[in-house]
Amino acid sequence: MREGWSGWDAYAPFYDWENARTRKVADVRFWRQLAARSRGRVLELGCGTGRIAVPLARAGVSLVGIDRSAPMLAQAHRKFRTARLRTSGLVRGDIRALPFAPAHFTMVLAPYGILQSLLSDRDLRATLDSIARVLATGGTLGIDLVPDVPRWKEYRNRLQLRGPAARGVDLTLIESVRQDRRKRLTTFEQRYLERKDGRVAEHRFEIAFRTIPVRAMVTRLERAGFVLDAVVGDYQGGPWDERADVWIILAKKV
């Protein structure tokens, strides 16, 4: 079985460009407000290019970000330096085996479907156990699940985005989607065409996400030593149901 982290190194040069065109920033405010309540260190899982980590650190949160992808972290380091923020809080590591001392954090954040990149129950179980180890008793775990991935229709070679990027480059994203209903996996095949000075370079990679229903995730959290605190359906804290745009789970370590 493929690993959930496959494809993210190749995605790094294009991640911010794509998200600037498709991703609303409401989640940044939500995580910033939540993290501000913590009275200790906060850990962000899968911090990537620093899309959330930079605003949290700028707001004074004592933040540590961890990601497996060196190219993603390289982008985050550049953003932290530009913002004159401490870069030593960015760590390369595997969220299935977090390299931190027990009870080191008072809050752990798992934004933007990062736990859905764990493509097996074994990996999810290892990650939740690892979080429980590094989170202090009474600490908060925040999880953001993306509910719409199983609803994506399958298609081939669809033109999704096109536009200018940095340094005179024009980017085109051509995307294909596959669904494995039995395994609850949605796989996105990305083809980026990079045009500059009449030349075209093609970059191909795949990223996959697993659908995890809220009730199933709550059961797994309870097995790992957490108790449910709240489930909300938007970034303003609104009520949740299965039709909600986002599925946010807040749990406490017991």
Q: pLDDT (tens digit, 9 = 90+) per residue, 62-110?
A: 999 999 999 999 999 999 999 999 888 999 999 999 999 999 999 999 9
Global pTM? Answer: 0.94
- Enumerate domains of the chain plus CATH numbers: 8-147+212-253 (3.40.50.150), 149-209 (2.20.25)
Give per-residue pLDDT as tens, 17-63. Answer: 998 888 667 899 999 999 999 989 999 999 999 999 999 999 999 99
Q: Is 129 helix (H, G, I), strand (E, B) or coil?
A: helix
Average pLDDT, whole number, for the chain? 94
Give per-residue pLDDT as tens, 214-251. Answer: 999 999 999 999 999 999 999 999 999 888 888 999 99
- Backbone torsions φ then ψ of 170, nearest 5 degrees: -110, 130
pLDDT score recorded for residue 24? 63
Which value, in Å, is the radius of gyration of the alpha carbons in the chain?
Answer: 18
Q: Please report, rounded to a whole number, the percentage of residues in the chain having pLDDT higher than 70.
A: 98
pLDDT score recorded for residue 37? 92
Neighbouring residues of 172: CB distance < 8 A, sequence distance ≥ 6:
159, 161, 162, 192, 193, 195
Distances (CA, A) of 114 to 68, 111, 209, 254: 12, 6, 9, 23
Q: What is the mean pLDDT of residues 150-166?
A: 93
Which residue type is seen at 254? V
